[in-house]
Amino acid sequence: MLLPTRRLPAAPSRPAVRPHISPARPSLRFRRQHGRAATARAASATPPVLGDTLLGLYEKERLGLSRYADEESKEDVFWETLDADLQYWTRSLRPVQWYPGHIAKTEKELKGQLKLMDVVIEVRDARIPLATTHPKMDSWLGNRRRIIVMNREDMVSADDRNAWATYFSSQGIKVVYSNGQLGMGTMKLGRMAKSAASTVNTKRREKGLLPRPVRAGIVGYPNVGKSSLINRLLKRRMCPAAPRPGVTRELKWVRFGKDLELLDSPGILPMRISDQTAALKLAICDDIGERSYDFADVAAILVQILLRHPAVGSEAFRKRYKIDVDSDCGKLFVTKLSVHLFNGDTTQAAFRILSDFRKGRFGWVALERPPT
């Protein structure tokens, strides 16, 4: 299939050899004309090459070309093309899937416990709030009251927070921003849970029954901070929490004061993650078991994202690792870093890049922005 290619300003001098360049990648203009679905189909129609763009971003930076000068800002271009790029890069990789036994068991038990919950608190990772939404959540919850929590709010920029706040408020959805490590937002969450379920006791009083504590189930993907939020709210370490997915293995009800009960639950994921760009983001953000992916593949794609990210770029890599970025191919950078620091061990180099990203060493950046 012949696809339109992106028109770029003429380069003053172009490097003679650019082996990673393929002209068949769908352009931004193509996406604008034909929409997201057609772009995704077009991206999947060509074999992906890591680092590929028509004229690599790094080259553009090096040649001093401003990408789409007056058409739109670099930032808009980045967000608009990110998912198509990710789809293109993940095509040839082994699918990321993680569904250990305890998740299957939890899913069953959670459905059973749902009828006991007055309100459901769905915790998401603020860096990837769409990728950390279970596709079946809406059908499980039905009309049950739900509060969305954007946890890890400290791990995104003020711009990211504002973009999501505008998005949710335009949809009339109330969200709480929280920090499960330091406790910000947890008191507000407690108050919201109680008020969302206040009708329960009104109805009980009308029936002549004594009031009972409001029951709130805390659900969400692995490692998004569910147990930490409960511990912060209770100001006691009642639920085990640690920086890896799959720490909580059992459902556990805990009491907060005399009028709120909270259910801590193990992180759940779909049995098959059909959207592999979302799965890749889960891997980058450590929200899925590390046995489900290859560190070197995931780190290579993370490098490619960050090189294009308007708030990061190649200078951040040069400063951090004291080596130059020679191209926009992530795999090449991981290999170069492995030679520089780890005797050629690419897994160690990849792990270093991933853990630096997770610790905010490239700055706090989100991997998702609201759909436009």
Ligand X SMILES: Nc1nc2c(ncn2[C@@H]2O[C@H](COP(=O)(O)OP(=O)(O)OP(=O)(O)O)[C@@H](O)[C@H]2O)c(=O)[nH]1
Stretch that binds ligand X, among 3-11, 127-135, 195-203, 246-254 (CB under 6 A): 246-254
Q: Is 289 in the site for ligand X (CB under 6 A)?
A: no
| Residues in contact with ligand X, shown as a per-residue x/- string from 253 to 272 under the rule CB under 6 A | -------------xx-----
DSSP output for 227-256: HHHHHHHHTS--S---SSTT---S-EEEEE
Binding residue (CB under 6 A) for ligand X from 226, 309, 331, 336: 226
Q: How far is the CB of 125 from ligand X (least distance, A)?
A: 9
- Two tokens, residue 323: 């080596």
DSSP, collapsed to helix, strand or coil, labels residue 351 as helix
Site mask, ligand X, residues 173-202, x = CB under 6 A? ------xxx---------------------
Let me know: does 267 contact 221? Beta carbons within 8 Å.
Answer: yes
> Is 260 within 8 Å of 273 (Cβ atoms)?
no
DSSP state of 105: H
Residue 87 or 228: the one with the smaller Cβ distance to ligand X is 228
154 binds ligand X (CB under 6 A): yes
Q: Which of 307, 300, 306 is nearest to 60 (CA)?
A: 307
Tell whether residue 243 is a contact of ligand X (CB under 6 A). yes
Binding ligand X (rule: CB under 6 A), the pick from 11, 242, 271, 339 is 242
**Using the rule CB under 6 A, is 225 a contact of ligand X?**
yes
* Contacts of the segment 30-33: beta carbons below 8 A, 24+ positions apart: 30/3, 30/4, 31/80, 31/81, 31/84
| Min CB(193)–ligand X separation in Å | 17
Asked whether position 127 contacts ligand X by CB under 6 A, the answer is: no
Contacting ligand X (CB under 6 A), which of 228, 276, 277, 314?
228
State yes or no: residue 124 binds ligand X (CB under 6 A): no
* From 91-99, 134-142, 218-226, 363-371, span contacting ligand X (CB under 6 A): 218-226
In the complex, the smallest distance separating the C-beta of residue 334 from ligand X, rounded to whole angstroms, is 25
Bridge partners, 263 (sequence order): 217, 253
Residue number closest to ligand X, CB atom: 180
User: Minimum CB separation from ligand X for residue 228, in Å?
Assistant: 3
Please answer whether residues 348 and 337 qualify as being in contact, where contact means their C-beta atoms are separated by less than 8 angstroms.
no
* Interface stretch with ligand X, choices 37-45, 151-159, 288-296, 333-341 (CB under 6 A): 151-159
Which alpha helices (H) appear in the chain, and where do they start and end?
28-45, 57-63, 74-90, 101-113, 137-141, 158-170, 186-196, 198-206, 226-234, 276-284, 295-308, 314-321, 330-341, 346-358
Minimum distance, C-beta of residue 177 to Mg ion, in the bound complex (Å): 19
Comparing CA positions, the residue from 261, 221, 248, 247 lying closest to residue 119 is: 261
Summarize as ranges the residues that interact with ligand X (CB under 6 A). Answer: 151-152, 154-155, 179-181, 222-228, 241-243, 245-248, 266-267
